[in-house]
Amino acid sequence: MAIKAVLRMGDPRLLEISAAVSNFDTPELHQLVKDLMDTMRAEDGAGLAAPQIAVGLRVVVFGFDENERYPDAEPVPQTVLINPLIEVLAEEREDGWEGCLSVPGLMGVVSRYTHIRYSGYDPFGKPIEREAQHFHARVVQHECDHLDGILYPQQMSDMRRFGFTEVLQPGG
């Protein structure tokens, strides 16, 4: 296990554009993926991006069967996605609550596309391509934003719907 410290909002490294991975199936890349997975699970996150553990590479992990933070969310397949690309398949967007391990204790409503196709590579360099809708699509958009230095509060349009989780969801 290698649980890494997650950078918090305010750290300038979270605002950088991450670099594409050019070498697959290397010990360093496999270690990074393991660190991301271990950290995401230890923190009960729905996803985690490499820059959140201070690695400026275009690598995200996400997925869960069920998640305490999002009790109503449908399961999202456990995925490692490298050098991701997102294609928007419908202009429709929907509002939904998001949190982020880099913005602990807070939640906010963000508008996201409801239907996307995403592509990229697994750690061995094998291509991945999937369609995703609703919460799955939301998680992918949130994680990929991290690779461009964007945290979800930057995507919010109504700061009245931003607050502390324990106030918004008293009693958990």
The distance of closest approach from Cβ of residue 135 to Ni ion in the complex, given in angstroms and rounded to an integer, is: 14
| Catalytic residue, candidates 16, 43, 94, 143 | 143
Coil, strand or helix at 8: coil
Distances (CA, A) of 76 to 25, 64, 67, 127, 142: 24, 5, 10, 19, 14
Residues in contact with Ni ion, counted by CB under 5 A, come to a total of 1
Q: Is 14 in the site for Ni ion (CB under 5 A)?
A: no
CA separation for the pair 93, 113 (Å, rounded): 4
In the complex with Ni ion, the residue whose CB is nearer, 29 or 103, is: 103
In the complex with Ni ion, the residue whose CB is nearer, 24 or 153, is: 153
Which string of x and - marks every residue 53-92 that binds Ni ion (by CB under 5 A)? ----------------------------------------
Across the beta sheet with 162-164, the strand order is 93-98, 106-113, 162-164
The distance of closest approach from Cβ of residue 37 to Ni ion in the complex, given in angstroms and rounded to an integer, is: 15
Q: Would residue 94 show up in a list of annotated catalytic residues for this protein?
A: no
CA separation for the pair 22, 113 (Å, rounded): 29
Q: Is 100 in the site for Ni ion (CB under 5 A)?
A: yes
Residue 120 host element (H or E): strand 115-121
For Ni ion, the binding residues (CB under 5 A) are: 100
Q: Which of the residues are catalytic?
A: 143
